[in-house]
Amino acid sequence: MIAEPNAASNLPSQKENAVHDETVPESAVQNGSCVRNGNLKTSVVCLPCERRRRASVLAVCSSEITAATEKCLVGSTQLFRSYFPVMPSYAYDLLLKKKKFKLREKRKVREQRENVRRNSSSSRRVSRLQNGEVVEAVTLFEVVSMGKQAMQSVVDDWVEAYKQDRNVALLDLINFFIQCSGCQGMVTAEMFQSLQKNDVMQKMTENFDEETGLQYKKFVAYPWILTVTWPVDMDNEDYPLIRTGPYWKKFKANFCEFIAVLVQQCQCSILYDSYLMDTIISLLTGLADSMVRAFRHTSTLAAMKLLTAVVSVHLNLDVNKHNAQRLYEVEKRRISGKRTNYRLDQLERKRKEYEHKLLEIQNMMNAIFKGTFLNRYRDVIPEIRATCIEEIGSWIKTYPDAFLNDSYLKYIGWMLYDKQAEVRLKCLLGLQGIYSRKELVSRMDLFTSRFKDRIVSMPLDKDHEVAVQAMKLLMLMSQNCEDVLSAEDCETLYQFVYTTHRPLAVAAGEFLYKRLLSHEGDEEIQPKRGGKFGASTDQLKRLIRFFLESELHKHVAYLIDSLWDWAGKFLKDWECMTALLLKNAEEDGEELSDAHESVLIEIILATVREAAEGHPPVGRGAAKKILSVKEKKIQLEDCMKITEHFIMVLPQLLAKYSTDAQKVANLLQIPQYYDLDVYSTGHLEKHLDALLREVKDIVTKHSDISVLEASSRTYYVLCNEEIAISSQVDCARTQLIDELMGQLNQLLDGFWQKEEGFCTDAGEISRMHSALRRVAAFHNAHNLTKWNLYDKTLRLLVFEMEHGSLPVLMILPALQCTYFSLLWQLAAISENPPKETLFALGRELRRFCQICMRFLHHKEKDVREKAFMILCDWLLILSHQDSNNNEEAVGLLDYLPSTPLQEKLLLFIQEHVFMEEEEESKDLTEDEERQDESCKLDDLHKKRSLLAAYCKLIVYNVVEMTAAAEIYKHYVKTYNDFGDIIKETLSRTRHNNKIQSAKTLILCLQQLFQRHAESQDSSSGMDFSSASFTNMKELARRFSLTFGWDQVKSRESVAMIHKEGIEFAFQGATGVDGKCLPPNLSFLLIISEFSNKLLKPDKRLVYAYLQRYIAEPLPCRGDEWQPLIWYRNSLLANEDEESSVLGGSGEWSPMGTSKMSSFKRKLSNGSLPDTSQTEAASKAPALQRASQLASATGKSRKRLKSRETHLQEHLPFLCPGGLRRRCCKDEIKTEDVSEEGQAEDVIEDVDVDVVGADQDS
């Protein structure tokens, strides 16, 4: 709020500040306000103005002294006066009387005062009905924040008020800016002319008054010296501009619009009166230098928007000046001789007027730029820096003649290196607006040469949006700047089409398409070449060459997805693509090479998949895209086009490439994207017969698993019972399987007929291997139970168990076939199967598990790994059967792993995943190194699959959760290879059971600690600097980071870790008094890594639990007790209410009762920092922040109440809800945990390993 100018407001004497009922001469009254005579000790006032000033002061202070008055009502006037030393003395007496006897009339007084003060602008009031009363918005802040009327009328009313009384209107505007900063303090004004220069300089300060607890800022807002007073605990993190929600976003937009409209409406009148703009610029410049973030941010935004509006005015004036100059010259040429002309004189005056206004506007621009921008574009707050950079980009685009030079461009270039992504983003957006205009690019040569390298590197930015906008900027630069990007730069930028972040990949796809694939004149290639697909053919060949030359990436699907939005026309030209594959060399001299054909077939498959599915490939995009009606229509049209074309062409392609496994495997995936009804509606059964013949021929020729699986998938899609052709395809499938089973039976019969039961013929082994692989591939998607495959393959496995002489090529497909056979039998169980069937199936299930367990120790590594994968999947399926089956069937078939089996599985993971293999140093050639690297990658992929299969057993409670402790031990050491799998396991187990998950973490650390202790020399003590101990602390720190920022959500888990850790640390301590050194005391150093995740009340409770195991006073002079001291310090860190960490004598210092009561007093008064709940409450439009804080505190306590019951069940030493815990002779009372305490805890580490972000709160 604002008190009107009063030169004598700061005088100490009540007599001098008293109101004199004197007759005021007319010369002393100007525009309804009082005029000071410059004398500090006397003042001549007008009685109406003085009354209005009194009402203003009373209303200003009444909104701010609610809390202060409650404390001072029983005290003296002097005590109350200390809170507001800048108020006149009569105001204190009147306010005390009002607060004592007329509290109910406070609102009435405020409304009366506002009505008197706003009688000149009543037309802009906004009214609304609330509780039967009409509430009027009478201040600019209220009107703008409500946003009920058009901003034009609001500004018009203010301009009219300014013309009537500019001092009152300006004070209203100043009050508006102060309130927009979120300040609920008081503003007083002194006349600048009444003070000497030295006195003025002394008043330009910002300091803190320790006696009153208030903050002051004095600065010049010509012609006044303004004093802003606000509470010292004004929240820098909660003011209108940074509040979230639609209401405050709208307020920010209204705030910016108000400034723009204000300048626009004043540009023809009061903008050049040397009073309005001087005051506003002085005010904003003074506030922009404040140490308070809210003032700096609000005033900087206002100043930048003000300069943007002034730049628009300058541009209009410049245009008007040039028009006037042209008219003047035309008029001057028109008249003859020296004859005077009124029109010419008028134009001359107009031109000079424009020049004068331009000069004033330039002075305003310079004042704002030098006074605000130059100081704030490097502000510590990123929002302020971003605002400055955003607006300077707007100035350059709006008025390039004045701002498009290196003097201004350098600021944007410098801020490209800013640490905050928001600032870098504003720089790139500003530069996009400049580089998009060719007429401006020619003036950017120096800037481009200086900052091009930085811009080229920014697509690698860690912030995705910055990277995307950098790529778009480079696209504009390559279009409008000749040869600005070198060939090396372009090659680097092309590779971004393979990135997993789709917006960046799409931007890079645009760059690639317009720079490399699409050239002007492509449409003219067709008639020149004479071919039907001239333009598309050349583009396809350029795309194929680019892919082949890109040696780092082999992901065609990612490349096509990146280009889809820009090159969809030629990527959907499947007729051209297939024509290139089917044409002969005689028809065209340029035949595709084998590598080109392979790439083109991959491109065909990728484009077909993209068109049919309509969403990005796996790994690019979190979920499937929801298609619009138009997109669905295009998708259906593309599917129809694909079907109609490939139904006829695909058999020809399969026939041509039937011997190439890779090409055939890709081509066989196309039918799954058909609209299969076209076969029957279009009477195209002959093409179906051709397709089935080619697929059957391919199956009999190939034993490659990818080809066989693609063939099996094709039959599965075509056998859909809902389509008319299913019966025809089913007959062809049955015929094919009969042939495959006949071949397998013939080979098996010959195998069993041999005397020794084992064949040594390599050819026979190969044929057996191929036959088993074909059957296994079809058994995966088709039920082959009627061919009795289970008995045949099971006999092979039993023979291997007994004799151990079968080759691996026969064991692996036999194991796979047996597994599929049992799965089909399990899936075929009806709702009420006979018990004999269930008993027989259960017996076979357990028998197969025993076989897999035996194979875990097979001599061949591939067999061991295959048996482990099958066993993990098998256990997962059996322990989570469908509940649709009856309970009896589920009970008979249920199979949970025994303890020995769980131990075997865990041992297998330790030996095959985490066991380090010794690498032999060999001198390899380049090809051998490449092959060795490929083998290592394949081996890593296998290890990840094994670990993921076992972790699924942990997550779904098939094995005990404590088994995860052995996995967690390798978290840090193997983070690059398996960190994502272990982190996901930790997240899922924590989601299932927080307490048990916490116990698993602490068990992991305990086992590591015991192993470390056993390796240490007992006589020398624990070595804290050893590598193993350092690794333990690092592992504990990483575990701590996984809990994230929400300390309330992780409260039970962290508390359980401390409880279990303390008990383990004092395990085995001798002596009742606890003065003997516990053997595991050093473990407290490990769990101290979790102390910063505790809420403040929980820290005190954990400390109380710790004191159960120690005696006070406890001498802590030896180094062996340092872990206990460090752990205690971690619990008492940042605790204002606690005593010093360690006394001078080395004894524990008791916790003071007075300090604890002080903390309770703070909590009850709501003086702790706001929490997330408080911030959520502050989003409401209501501005009564005190009531919001109280309600938010209550809500935060209710939020935790539901957690306390669960917490008390598992953590006996943590009893929230005011429970008291005795510790020695002192009694510690625990307050209800609120999120204020949570907000005060300082988390030093960056949470890079947060898991469980999607857990239930």
Contact indicator for 194, 38 with CB cutoff of 8 Å: yes
Q: What is the mean pLDDT of the chain?
A: 76
Residue 348 is encoded by which pair of tokens? 């001359």
Residues 6+ apart with CB under 8 A from 524: none
Query: What does each C-alpha distance from 1061 to 340, 723, 1006, 1089, 1092 come to in angstroms?
Result: 102, 64, 8, 11, 15
More confident residue, 28 or 493: 493
- Across 49-58, 170-179, 1148-1157, which has the greatest mean pLDDT? 170-179
Phi, psi of 190, deg, nearest 5: -125, 145
Predicted confidence (pLDDT) at residue 822 exceeds the cutoff of 60 = yes
pTM of the model: 0.73
Residue 313 is encoded by which pair of tokens? 């005015």
Predicted confidence (pLDDT) at residue 233 exceeds the cutoff of 80 = no
| Model pLDDT, residue 1197 | 39
| Nearest C-alpha neighbor of 603 from the set 540, 655, 686, 645 | 540
Contact indicator for 1222, 1196 with CB cutoff of 8 Å: no
User: What mean pLDDT do residues 746-756 have?
Assistant: 79
785-813 pLDDT, tens digit per residue, is: 999 999 999 999 999 998 888 889 999 99
User: What mean pLDDT do residues 1107-1132 have?
Assistant: 76
Predicted confidence (pLDDT) at residue 698 exceeds the cutoff of 70 = yes
How far is the C-alpha of 468 from the C-alpha of 509, rounded, in Å? 11
Contact indicator for 1053, 1040 with CB cutoff of 8 Å: no
The number of angstroms, rounded, from the C-alpha of 643 to the middle of its chain's C-alpha atoms is 41
1044-1070 pLDDT, tens digit per residue, is: 888 888 899 999 999 999 999 888 765
Predicted confidence (pLDDT) at residue 743 exceeds the cutoff of 80 = yes
How far is the C-alpha of 45 from the C-alpha of 37, rounded, in Å? 10
Predicted confidence (pLDDT) at residue 778 exceeds the cutoff of 90 = yes
Predicted confidence (pLDDT) at residue 47 exceeds the cutoff of 70 = no
How far is the C-alpha of 797 from the C-alpha of 809, rounded, in Å? 13
User: What mean pLDDT do residues 809-818 have?
Assistant: 94
Contact indicator for 737, 787 with CB cutoff of 8 Å: yes
584-595 pLDDT, tens digit per residue, is: 544 555 678 899
Residue 1229 is encoded by which pair of tokens? 């009372």
How far is the C-alpha of 301 from the C-alpha of 256, rounded, in Å? 8
Phi-psi bin for 84: left (phi > 0), alpha (psi -120 to 50), beta?
beta
- The beta-strand segments (E) located in 522-633 are none
Predicted confidence (pLDDT) at residue 1043 exceeds the cutoff of 60 = yes
- Across 258-272, 377-391, 874-888, which has the greatest mean pLDDT? 377-391
| Model pLDDT, residue 344 | 80
How far is the C-alpha of 726 from the C-alpha of 721, rounded, in Å? 6
| Model pLDDT, residue 1113 | 56
In which band, very low, low, confident or very high, does the pLDDT at 222 lie, cut at 50, 70 and 90? low
Query: What does each C-alpha distance from 175 to 70, 391, 656 come to in angstroms?
Result: 26, 25, 83
User: What mean pLDDT do residues 953-967 have?
Assistant: 93
Q: DSSP class of residue 191?
A: E
User: What mean pLDDT do residues 187-200 have?
Assistant: 52
In the chain, count H helices and then E strands.
Answer: 55, 10
| Nearest C-alpha neighbor of 1231 from the set 1091, 1140, 1137 | 1137
- Across 77-81, 241-245, 989-993, which has the greatest mean pLDDT? 989-993
84-133 pLDDT, tens digit per residue, is: 333 443 334 434 444 444 444 444 444 444 443 444 343 344 444 344 44
User: What mean pLDDT do residues 35-63 have?
Assistant: 38
Predicted confidence (pLDDT) at residue 152 exceeds the cutoff of 50 = yes
Residues in the chain: 1257
| Nearest C-alpha neighbor of 955 from the set 979, 991, 906 | 991
Query: What does each C-alpha distance from 1004 to 1016, 1066, 1076 come to in angstroms?
Result: 19, 18, 26
The 3 state secondary structure assigned to 1124-1173 is HHHHHHHHHCCCCCCCCCCCCCCCCCCCCHHHHHHHHHHHHHCCCCCCHH
Residue 1: helix, strand or coil by DSSP? coil
More confident residue, 329 or 430: 430
The 3 state secondary structure assigned to 420-441 is CHHHHHHHHHHHHHHHCCHHHH
User: What mean pLDDT do residues 850-855 have?
Assistant: 92
Contact indicator for 165, 283 with CB cutoff of 8 Å: no
User: What mean pLDDT do residues 128-145 have?
Assistant: 58
| Model pLDDT, residue 614 | 86
Predicted confidence (pLDDT) at residue 534 exceeds the cutoff of 60 = yes
| Nearest C-alpha neighbor of 346 from the set 368, 330, 324, 320 | 324
| Model pLDDT, residue 804 | 81
Predicted confidence (pLDDT) at residue 192 exceeds the cutoff of 80 = no
In which band, very low, low, confident or very high, does the pLDDT at 1183 lie, cut at 50, 70 and 90? very low
Contact indicator for 1169, 1240 with CB cutoff of 8 Å: yes
Q: Cα torsion at 270, 276, 277, 280 (round to 10°)?
A: -150
How far is the C-alpha of 268 from the C-alpha of 410, rounded, in Å? 34
Angle between helix axes 762-781 and 705-718 (nearest 10 degrees) is 30
In which band, very low, low, confident or very high, does the pLDDT at 1015 lie, cut at 50, 70 and 90? confident
Q: Cα torsion at 770, 772, 775, 781 (round to 10°)?
A: -100
Angle between helix axes 705-718 and 685-701 (nearest 10 degrees) is 150
CA-only gyration radius of the chain, Å: 41
Query: What does each C-alpha distance from 790 to 546, 795, 825, 872 come to in angstroms?
Result: 50, 9, 10, 20
Query: What does each C-alpha distance from 918 to 568, 649, 915, 921, 929 come to in angstroms?
Result: 50, 53, 10, 10, 17
Other residues' Cβ atoms within 10 Å of the Cβ of residue 751: 18
Predicted confidence (pLDDT) at residue 203 exceeds the cutoff of 70 = no
How far is the C-alpha of 81 from the C-alpha of 71, rounded, in Å? 12
User: Residue 1226: beta bridge partners?
Assistant: 1223
| CB-neighbour burial class of residue 330 (10 A; exposed 0-12, middle 13-18, buried 19+) | exposed
How far is the C-alpha of 820 from the C-alpha of 840, rounded, in Å? 17
Helix, strand, coil tally for the chain in percent (to 5)? 65, 5, 30
In which band, very low, low, confident or very high, does the pLDDT at 931 lie, cut at 50, 70 and 90? confident
Tell me the one-letter amino acid at 736: L
How far is the C-alpha of 1003 from the C-alpha of 998, rounded, in Å? 9
| CB-neighbour burial class of residue 387 (10 A; exposed 0-12, middle 13-18, buried 19+) | buried
User: What mean pLDDT do residues 174-201 have?
Assistant: 64
Predicted confidence (pLDDT) at residue 1154 exceeds the cutoff of 50 = no
| Model pLDDT, residue 1020 | 62
How far is the C-alpha of 1128 from the C-alpha of 1142, rounded, in Å? 10
Contact indicator for 241, 305 with CB cutoff of 8 Å: no
Sign of CA dihedral 732, 737, 738, 742: positive
User: What mean pLDDT do residues 266-278 have?
Assistant: 86
More confident residue, 139 or 756: 139
| Model pLDDT, residue 473 | 96
Predicted confidence (pLDDT) at residue 3 exceeds the cutoff of 50 = no
484-496 pLDDT, tens digit per residue, is: 999 999 999 999 9
Predicted confidence (pLDDT) at residue 1151 exceeds the cutoff of 50 = no
Query: What does each C-alpha distance from 394 to 311, 416, 420, 426, 434 come to in angstroms?
Result: 10, 16, 20, 11, 9
User: What mean pLDDT do residues 888-898 have?
Assistant: 65
Contact indicator for 614, 626 with CB cutoff of 8 Å: no
Contact indicator for 1090, 1044 with CB cutoff of 8 Å: no
1187-1227 pLDDT, tens digit per residue, is: 332 333 333 333 334 444 444 444 444 443 333 333 333 33
More confident residue, 6 or 838: 838
Pairing, β 126-130 against β 206-209: unpaired
User: Residue 214: beta bridge partners?
Assistant: 209, 231
| Model pLDDT, residue 559 | 94
917-928 pLDDT, tens digit per residue, is: 666 556 677 777
Predicted confidence (pLDDT) at residue 1228 exceeds the cutoff of 50 = no
- Across 102-106, 554-558, 944-948, 1158-1162, which has the greatest mean pLDDT? 944-948
How far is the C-alpha of 1083 from the C-alpha of 939, rounded, in Å? 37
629-670 pLDDT, tens digit per residue, is: 998 999 999 999 999 999 999 999 999 999 999 999 999 999
The number of angstroms, rounded, from the C-alpha of 290 to the middle of its chain's C-alpha atoms is 31
